[in-house]
A and B are shown apart, each in its own frame.
Chain A
């Protein structure tokens, strides 16, 4: 019934490699920044649990096993958010845990319903998924892969989590839900057309709502959290629409978003550490801090927006092709969300790195850690290399679908 049911395909391989890489970067970042903070053992354990559960989900074909990894990831996220153990962090971690746990229970009900109908947990052997079971599973997926209206835990979690762990939360843990969606509904084709249509529209609405909130967020981490909500909507949209463009585009989007968002998270955390500020209206002219950081963040932001020499371009293009192929209205929604992304990212980047208050005292800024800047730049560089050589991941994924 449940064993270590693993298999390897190109999709899982790419995602697994991505998660390990993001985890590695998080590790390096922590080496550079975490030395003065206590109980580091817990930190490294949680990092390994988050990355390990992500890799596990990417490779397993047993939905009960996926559920186990899911819960491991929830547990790790809970401990990670409460890392500093002050009152706001504990409250945030309670939110994270409770909402995720309740949603996971609903997911479990859905999984058991599927088992009842089919007598198996193996994704390859499941023959039908009833509408009710699909809805139960969807609640779990939407909570884990933060989608409106189940997104409320993310913003407090991002605000509380240590930077180094936040990068892997953004890059790994949030993708588990959409991977289950890909395996269970998109690739196996168990979702009814009406269900998939509904999910697609939910994803578009969630994406626009997330982006719209990010437009007005002054707290840097809050902005990143709602940006994540907005970007995961693209992935869910792609998987809900399906087809070659949808599947490949969605996975590429996970790749682009994980690299960009964890990089931006590290960059933001670095700026917060150095300046002691977390509000973008209070900072300007950060380009003086470090040109490498400025360039790296520009590339990461460009990848998130979807400009060409970065991997974000092709993933966004493929998602939009798939959406328009399904219905032009979905395509318009996706483009609207992309425009909102452009707007909040330019706002963020300009307020932080250029802005008009360059006279803020520089003397109190600490020197940014070289290892941390290097991590941001590595992620940016990888986005750039993958973007220029986009045919490599693209070909790899297309081959995986045949």
Chain B
């Protein structure tokens, strides 16, 4: 019974305390601290309880819908990480958001989002889940409104895209409810994709999940928002909670509700979406000139690995996708928060206005570099291991799909490009020469450094001891099937670590020299040129990919918004509106007017007959008399 009340409180408490903190502003920090701490403790409790058993509790049944809670080890895992990220980002925001406009509502949304996210993960019925999912949309929208003035555009875009995906999901869930008779999960036996409507149901629910996770082509609000909302919002929603929830739902529908193993085409579609997302988003990231936007494209790109892994249907691939979900949230949150620290101190995010901050902000740089290597899949950090598992899943696919190397190449190539774009970012932020106005920059505040360092430490911990800690205790117990083949590379782990060590050594060496840029005076026409103008900034790294023949067109399309689903949507709805308003509706209205005109003209005609002259009326009388006579005769 204790676990069930833990489920209740982990959902209700953050909302209640968050609203209370909004009302009593003076005690907000204390109240929020209590809320997040209690949520963390309860989450640990749920996590521990789900190790050994399943918690299931039916709240009420109404209208053919069971409002029930269900927590297995997968849910326990996600709930735990929800709480960890919430408390870290809250702690970071204490200083980062202080005295910014909208601070009060921002903190309220933090708590509401946590509560709703817990609700999503702990519900055992898709309709019940949809309720919490809707609360998340509201909270996301509200949170995106807090920022620079143009954040309202991003908020509208996000609301539109996520809202449409939500409706798709609602339709999918209702189709499942009507066709399969229940929206509860897990279902035994799992629902086979037997008829077209069940396939549609699966696809529609997956659309909802992928829109949440931010996969292409439903990603475009993320880069849009990155420009204008605070870094901590980006870290909280697109980087951590949205990924956890989207991938969680994808796992749930793919392996706990539907049985997709028999339908290869669905899995191929998933893997194609994954691969395209990896490559296309990372290509966009490479040429960005603004820190947050660059990171946001990586937030999109990394989802591809998770979808690819889960789409393989191979146990090691699925485990890899799940592991990558956890790893990605760790390093991506770390990256956003570190970049936020830079923004907080340097008051700029454009790469050409930054540089040389490594000396001034060593701890921030350390955490950023660790996370950057983790995201690029450099051993021994955590990103390497999970990507490796995804690759293995793809390789094992060989007996089912002949063109598996395509996916493998896409994934590996994406990894290389990720590293490339992070080298650009590290250079632009921390190395190179420092612009003069940044000379007074100091290390970020304590509240901001601690979360980033914790996350960076987790990147190392989860990478070096990947098998001993995260896989053994977190990922594998969360899956309902045995996973084999992870140990395939263990003998080589030592080698990998050595290579990693070498790389780090090289890095330290490079940093040692790179942090002290060699200065030479530049002369122009015999005069000393101003140093500032000759500063080598980062943004133009790889700008030559712009000019590669095929890519040039693609990039110019991409920058023109050709890959933005939202633009097409706007165009389509505009056309629909014109069609319905200026054609259909106008036609109907005209029809009414024409009928009115006809009736009026008839009236005029009959009134014209009333001339007011006696002879005329006598003539009518005779005419009438003749007609009556004729009728009597015949």
Judged by a CB distance under 8 angstroms, whether A190 is at the interface is no
A177–B255 Cα distance when bound, in Å, is 47
Establish whether residues A212 and B579, one from each chain, have CB atoms under 8 Å apart when the complex forms. Answer: yes
Interface residues of B in 102-143 (CB under 8 A from A): 127, 130-135, 137-138
Interface residues of B in 535-554 (CB under 8 A from A): none
Establish whether residues B131 and A308, one from each chain, have CB atoms under 8 Å apart when the complex forms. Answer: yes
Establish whether residues A317 and B127, one from each chain, have CB atoms under 8 Å apart when the complex forms. Answer: yes
Establish whether residues B174 and A331, one from each chain, have CB atoms under 8 Å apart when the complex forms. Answer: yes
Interface residues of A in 182-209 (CB under 8 A from B): 208-209
Please name all residues of chain B whose beta carbon is closer than 8 Å to the beta carbon of A209 when the two chains form the complex.
580, 584-585
Minimal Cβ-Cβ distance residue in B for A248: B63
Are A324 and B174 CB-contacts (below 8 A) given A209-B580, A309-B135, A346-B156? Answer: yes
Establish whether residues B156 and A332, one from each chain, have CB atoms under 8 Å apart when the complex forms. Answer: no
Judged by a CB distance under 8 angstroms, whether A48 is at the interface is no
* Whole-angstrom distance between the Cβ of A231 and the nearest chain B Cβ: 15
Establish whether residues A339 and B60, one from each chain, have CB atoms under 8 Å apart when the complex forms. Answer: no
Interface flags for A323-365 (1: CB within 8 Å of B; 0: not) read 0110010011001001110110010001000111010000000
Interface residues of B in 582-615 (CB under 8 A from A): 582, 584-585, 588-589, 591-592
Judged by a CB distance under 8 angstroms, whether A391 is at the interface is yes
Establish whether residues A343 and B156, one from each chain, have CB atoms under 8 Å apart when the complex forms. Answer: no
Please name all residues of chain A whose beta carbon is closer than 8 Å to the beta carbon of B159 when the two chains form the complex.
342, 346
Minimal Cβ-Cβ distance residue in A for B138: A307
Judged by a CB distance under 8 angstroms, whether B167 is at the interface is yes
* Whole-angstrom distance between the Cβ of B422 and the nearest chain A Cβ: 34
Establish whether residues A331 and B175, one from each chain, have CB atoms under 8 Å apart when the complex forms. Answer: yes
Judged by a CB distance under 8 angstroms, whether B573 is at the interface is yes
Are A308 and B135 CB-contacts (below 8 A) given A152-B592, A320-B170? Answer: yes
A391–B149 Cα distance when bound, in Å, is 39
Question: What number of A-B contacts does a CB cutoff of 8 Å give?
Answer: 119
Establish whether residues A394 and B167, one from each chain, have CB atoms under 8 Å apart when the complex forms. Answer: no
Are A335 and B152 CB-contacts (below 8 A) given A342-B163, A346-B160, A391-B60? Answer: no
Please name all residues of chain A whose beta carbon is closer than 8 Å to the beta carbon of B153 when the two chains form the complex.
356
Please name all residues of chain A whose beta carbon is closer than 8 Å to the beta carbon of B494 when the two chains form the complex.
none
* Whole-angstrom distance between the Cβ of B11 and the nearest chain A Cβ: 13
Judged by a CB distance under 8 angstroms, whether A105 is at the interface is no
* Whole-angstrom distance between the Cβ of B320 and the nearest chain A Cβ: 34
Minimal Cβ-Cβ distance residue in B for A332: B171
Please name all residues of chain B whose beta carbon is closer than 8 Å to the beta carbon of A328 when the two chains form the complex.
175, 178, 197, 200
A248–B137 Cα distance when bound, in Å, is 26
A395–B62 Cα distance when bound, in Å, is 8
A81–B188 Cα distance when bound, in Å, is 60
Please name all residues of chain A whose beta carbon is closer than 8 Å to the beta carbon of B168 when the two chains form the complex.
335
Among A208, A216, A244, A245, residue most surrounded by chain B Cβ atoms (within 10 Å): A216
Minimal Cβ-Cβ distance residue in B for A313: B134
Please name all residues of chain B whose beta carbon is closer than 8 Å to the beta carbon of A317 when the two chains form the complex.
127, 130, 170, 174
* Whole-angstrom distance between the Cβ of B528 and the nearest chain A Cβ: 45
* Whole-angstrom distance between the Cβ of A225 and the nearest chain B Cβ: 11
B577's partner among A215, A308, A331, A358 (CB-CB below 8 A) is: A215
Interface residues of B in 557-595 (CB under 8 A from A): 569, 573-574, 576-582, 584-585, 588-589, 591-592
Establish whether residues B171 and A320, one from each chain, have CB atoms under 8 Å apart when the complex forms. Answer: yes
Establish whether residues A313 and B167, one from each chain, have CB atoms under 8 Å apart when the complex forms. Answer: no
A350–B157 Cα distance when bound, in Å, is 11
Judged by a CB distance under 8 angstroms, whether A318 is at the interface is yes
Please name all residues of chain A whose beta carbon is closer than 8 Å to the beta carbon of B578 when the two chains form the complex.
216
Judged by a CB distance under 8 angstroms, whether A305 is at the interface is yes
Judged by a CB distance under 8 angstroms, whether A149 is at the interface is yes
A282–B132 Cα distance when bound, in Å, is 36
Interface residues of A in 203-232 (CB under 8 A from B): 208-209, 212-213, 215-217
Establish whether residues B62 and A213, one from each chain, have CB atoms under 8 Å apart when the complex forms. Answer: no
Please name all residues of chain B whose beta carbon is closer than 8 Å to the beta carbon of A216 when the two chains form the complex.
574, 577-578, 580-582
Establish whether residues A152 and B589, one from each chain, have CB atoms under 8 Å apart when the complex forms. Answer: yes
Judged by a CB distance under 8 angstroms, whether A137 is at the interface is no
Establish whether residues A320 and B174, one from each chain, have CB atoms under 8 Å apart when the complex forms. Answer: yes
List 22 contacting pairs A-B, 8 Å CB cutoff, sorted by A. A99-B592, A209-B584, A212-B580, A215-B576, A215-B581, A216-B577, A217-B581, A307-B138, A308-B132, A317-B174, A320-B171, A321-B177, A324-B174, A325-B178, A331-B175, A335-B167, A340-B576, A346-B156, A354-B152, A354-B156, A358-B149, A391-B60
* A residues apposed to B, CB below 8 Å: 99, 148-149, 151-152, 208-209, 212-213, 215-217, 244-245, 248, 302, 305, 307-309, 313, 317-318, 320-321, 324-325, 328, 331-332, 335, 338-340, 342-343, 346, 350, 354-356, 358, 391, 394-395, 398
Task: Apart from A148-B588, A212-B577, A342-B159, list 16 A-B contacts with CB within 8 A.
Answer: A99-B592, A208-B580, A212-B579, A212-B580, A213-B581, A216-B582, A217-B581, A248-B63, A302-B138, A308-B131, A308-B135, A324-B171, A331-B171, A339-B164, A339-B167, A343-B160
